[in-house]
Structure 1
Amino acid sequence: MYKLVIEGGHKLAGEVSISGAKNSALPIMAASILIEDDVIIDNVPNLEDVKTLSQLLDKLGKKVEFSNNRMVISTVSEEEFEAPYEITKKIRASIAVLGPLLAKRRKAKVSFPGGCAIGPRPVDLHIKGIRVLGASVKIEHGYIIAEAQRLTGGLVNMLGINGTSVVATENIMMAATLAEGTTVIDNAAMEPEVVDLANFLIKCGAKIKGHGTNTIIVEGVKKLKGCEYKIIPDRIETGTFILAGMMTNGEILIKDCEPNHLTEPIRVFKEMGADIQITSKNTISVKGKEKYEPANVTTLPYPYFPTDLQAQLMAVLTKAKGISVITEKIFQNRFMHAYEMNRLGADITIDGTLAVIKGVEKLYGAPVMASDLRGGAGLIIALLGAEGTGELLRVYHVDRGYEKIEEKLSKLGGKVKRERTNLI
């Protein structure tokens, strides 16, 4: 096990390059199951989740070669259709192999997925969608077992009790590429990563329209071909570094990013008083300040404020001038980091889906524990802005979604080092 030891109080300054989007890489990797030819994916981040999904693809008859952020996926066998629990328990995105397996191999047996412990994220929309496309589905011993001799197009409504679903939208879109006829996905997720997956599939020969809107239309084809594709920059990593710069009153230039994917967060950060400029198509400059205005933010699906930046924003708001409110509309139980921030001296009160943050003068370094990926990122930002030295335990959560986090922060002048620990 590892921990991050962080000495707070140092301004971040310099340049940082953003990695490829984890939430694009994973579904695009899963989509390779649809394709017999070689698939080459560029700008793939070197993350634990990517390694785990590579293991799953290997189990499913794919050969994955990965070096220098370039991945080549080839086909060894198309016989296997089971995604076992020992792999899927580690990663939520493992459910994304359901649609491709069903469409290409006519059968799928996928264990219920794992990943971050941030409340229930049911698979009901995935199951509903593939049933509309003609699959028979049953749940046995923790597995989703689905079969279909040939999927057929249909009207799939992605609206569930918790709103739409990004991964379910992706799963049905992938399955529909090889279905007979036309599939219409209503209330589809509009996230940039969904668009990225659609663009990849189109390059492989799929017929898809409407991606980026809430209605996606897929006309099935008989076969997809291999291609080479570069995935988009990670907007959540970009937002995380913006907030890290803000927290430390820093001055940083963020390169290789996509500012258009962060329109709403950047608006919020500017209203708080940060000096953020889009200096070119792929760069953002950030100039922090000592104190920020409070904010009232609600997390919602794209293009609104993303739940995946909620914890990082909360860290900055702990030292804002007044009282801020964050309403979490996407996931239940996604405020676990707040209790750890209070250990650093923050004043945060949780009431159901509301977090009330009263700004304090100082935070103080202390040992804290990550309970999930983005909560861990929020705690890193809090420790960067704290007085003295603190530690982040369970850093493996952060490693699932951030490539070389301590190296990038250290290059900007942060005092961050990784050390072994016997603590879990």
Structure 2
Amino acid sequence: MEVKGGKPLKGDFDVQPSKNAVLPILASTIIANDKCRLYPVVKISDVDVAVGILEKLGAKCSWENGGINVDTRSINSYSIDFNSSKKMRASVLFLGALLARFGKAKVYLPGGCKIGKRPIDFHLAGFESLGFQCKYHKDGLIEVFYDKRKDKQHEKIVNMVGVSVGATENILMASMFFHNNVTIHNAAREPEIISLCKALKKYGAKIKGIGSSSLYVEHDSLSGARIKIPSDRIVAGTFACCLLSSRGSGKIRNYPFDDLESFTALIQSMGAKVTRDKNDIFIKSPKSIKAINFQTGPHPAFPTDLQPLVSAVLCKATGVSRIVETVFEKRFLHLKQLRKMGANVIIKNQECIIEGVENLNSAELNSTDLRCAAALIVAALSEGKKCTIFDKGHLKRGYYNFIEQLKRNGVKIS
């Protein structure tokens, strides 16, 4: 695509339902073993992959009135094929859901964005703590199953070996296989974990400690439910960064304030003026962006998914910014592309130094992952020079109607 910015964005932007919330909830419908309705849901490519996995397993899915109906009563398989596994990282979340339903599951090592090592060791260690057996095959097939004869653990207590959103979601779902109490310590606290807990409670689970690092799970009978999907906090942050990069002003509707406290505070320290109106936010950009220092980390710290977007804005800030990335070791790939535009960036291990420049140049840029693609667009909005971005389909994995909304508000994209 070709992007030409240089003009302040002005207008309204609508935040879509959360990708990172809906994917584990789609997987969790397997546990309900009933009819479920998820709403609102948009047709981004990762959602299409997840729906495709459900249908291959035997579920019946249909889109209706901005949501999706899922009937998992007819699921008769516990294996996810190689191609489906490789299409997205979240395919691994079906392990926990299938274990809860059948006590066994097979999936191949997952695909997804290449932003660094994301081993599933934390997932497998958690399954083993619950009493499951795990086998890893040379072709990448992962087989997990429950053998009551080998389960010597009367108390189901999982001490997560590291803070991981995906592993917490997987262990949370797999714990539904057991009717007795399950305790999960060192659980991730991201908003998407809270959304999954709320969905499981709607099915009939009893979960205590929601929002904390210790979760206590039990259940009797389960049934289907209507699940509302929250706004996508990363998309909301992306629109905010688009406004700041272009030095524009506008309203972002359905802005998840509670989930973006660290981000909102950070853009205010960059000079943005923020006004809240119920569920909407109005952002007015400063004439000059202030340089800042920040570090990413697990929630409630600054989210790693928004680091590429903010760092793209900081390329034209006044002063020197310092960013420490603690989650993914390859989260600075977008900055290597922005150097082609003339960004003054020094990267050393998990730290980067950005000295703001007055102007960025026209360039041909290659997106390497979902957030990199969005960050390159954010940077291009700051200049009236044409940038060519080779996206390779990354953007469609997580953004719905994003380009159309930018065009509607005056950005030239072809």
TM over 0.5: yes
Q: Contact 2:294–2:322 at 8 Å: present in 1 too?
A: yes
Moved over 2 A (4+): 66-69, 75-79, 149-153
Distance 1:335-1:68 versus aligned 2 partners, 3 A rule: farther
> Which residue is 1:173 aligned to?
172
Deviation sequence 1:168-223 (CA, Å, 0-9, x none): 101111111231311111111111111011101101111111111111110133x3
Partners of 1:94 and 1:74 lie apart in 2 by: 19
Q: Residue 16 of structure 1: SS of its match in structure 2?
A: strand
Matched pairs, number: 409
> Which residue is 2:156 aligned to?
154
Trace 1:358-369 onto structure 2 (pairs within 5 A): 358-369=355-366
One-letter identity of the residue aligned with 1:157: N
> Which residue is 2:303 aligned to?
306
> Which residue is 1:185 aligned to?
184
Deviation sequence 1:90-124 (CA, Å, 0-9, x none): 10011100011111112101111000001110101
Partners of 2:26 and 2:143 lie apart in 1 by: 21
Matched, 1:226 2:228: no
Partners of 1:157 and 1:174 lie apart in 2 by: 15
> What is the deviation of 1:88?
1.2
Q: Contact 1:190–1:212 at 8 Å: present in 2 too?
A: yes
- What are structure 1's unaligned runs of at least 5 residues? 418-424
Distance 1:344-1:67 versus aligned 2 partners, 3 A rule: farther
Which one of the candidate residues 69, 73, 76 is aligned to 1:72?
Answer: 69
Trace 1:346-357 onto structure 2 (pairs within 5 A): 346-357=343-354
Q: Contact 1:102–1:175 at 8 Å: present in 2 too?
A: yes
Q: Residue 263 of structure 1: SS of its match in structure 2?
A: helix
One-letter identity of the residue aligned with 1:73: V
Q: Contact 1:364–1:387 at 8 Å: present in 2 too?
A: no
- RMSD over aligned Cα atoms: 1.4
Q: Contact 1:176–1:220 at 8 Å: present in 2 too?
A: no
> What is the deviation of 1:412?
2.1
> What is the deviation of 1:66?
2.2
Matched, 1:19 2:16: yes
Trace 1:317-328 onto structure 2 (pairs within 5 A): 317-328=314-325
> Which residue is 2:255 aligned to?
257
Q: Residue 290 of structure 1: SS of its match in structure 2?
A: coil
> What is the deviation of 1:36?
1.7
Deviation sequence 1:246-266 (CA, Å, 0-9, x none): 111111100012111111111
Partners of 2:122 and 2:64 lie apart in 1 by: 35
Q: Contact 2:367–2:392 at 8 Å: present in 1 too?
A: yes
One-letter identity of the residue aligned with 1:400: R
One-letter identity of the residue aligned with 1:178: F
> What is the deviation of 1:57?
0.9
Partners of 1:335 and 1:45 lie apart in 2 by: 29
Q: Contact 2:60–2:74 at 8 Å: present in 1 too?
A: no
One-letter identity of the residue aligned with 2:377: I
Q: Contact 2:104–2:145 at 8 Å: present in 1 too?
A: yes
Q: Contact 2:380–2:387 at 8 Å: present in 1 too?
A: yes
One-letter identity of the residue aligned with 2:160: M
One-letter identity of the residue aligned with 1:158: M
Trace 1:30-49 onto structure 2 (pairs within 5 A): 30-49=27-46
> What is the deviation of 1:149?
5.3
Q: Residue 83 of structure 1: SS of its match in structure 2?
A: coil
Distance 1:98-1:207 versus aligned 2 partners, 3 A rule: same
> Which residue is 1:422 aligned to?
none
> Which residue is 1:198 aligned to?
197
> What is the deviation of 1:304?
1.0
One-letter identity of the residue aligned with 1:96: L
> What is the deviation of 1:153?
5.7
Partners of 1:258 and 1:46 lie apart in 2 by: 21
> What is the deviation of 1:129?
1.0
Which one of the candidate residues 355, 372, 377 is aligned to 2:374?
Answer: 377
Q: Residue 190 of structure 1: SS of its match in structure 2?
A: coil
Distance 1:386-1:68 versus aligned 2 partners, 3 A rule: farther
Deviation sequence 1:7-52 (CA, Å, 0-9, x none): 1102111111100000000000000111221110001122110001
Partners of 1:314 and 1:57 lie apart in 2 by: 37
Q: Contact 1:118–1:372 at 8 Å: present in 2 too?
A: yes
Partners of 1:270 and 1:303 lie apart in 2 by: 17
- What are structure 2's unaligned runs of at least 5 residues? none
Trace 1:271-310 onto structure 2 (pairs within 5 A): 271-280=269-278, 282-310=279-307
Which one of the candidate residues 95, 103, 117 is aligned to 2:114?
Answer: 117
Matched, 1:237 2:239: no
Q: Contact 2:187–2:215 at 8 Å: present in 1 too?
A: yes
Q: Residue 321 of structure 2: SS of its match in structure 1?
A: strand
Partners of 1:257 and 1:408 lie apart in 2 by: 16
Partners of 2:120 and 2:318 lie apart in 1 by: 41
> Which residue is 1:386 aligned to?
383
User: Identity of aligned pairs, percent?
Assistant: 37
Q: Contact 1:61–1:80 at 8 Å: present in 2 too?
A: yes
One-letter identity of the residue aligned with 2:252: I
Q: Contact 1:90–1:114 at 8 Å: present in 2 too?
A: yes
> What is the deviation of 1:356?
0.7
One-letter identity of the residue aligned with 2:334: H
> What is the deviation of 1:325?
0.8
Which one of the candidate residues 94, 99, 123 is aligned to 1:126?
Answer: 123
One-letter identity of the residue aligned with 1:253: K
> What is the deviation of 1:365?
2.5
Matched, 1:145 2:143: yes
> Which residue is 1:342 aligned to?
339
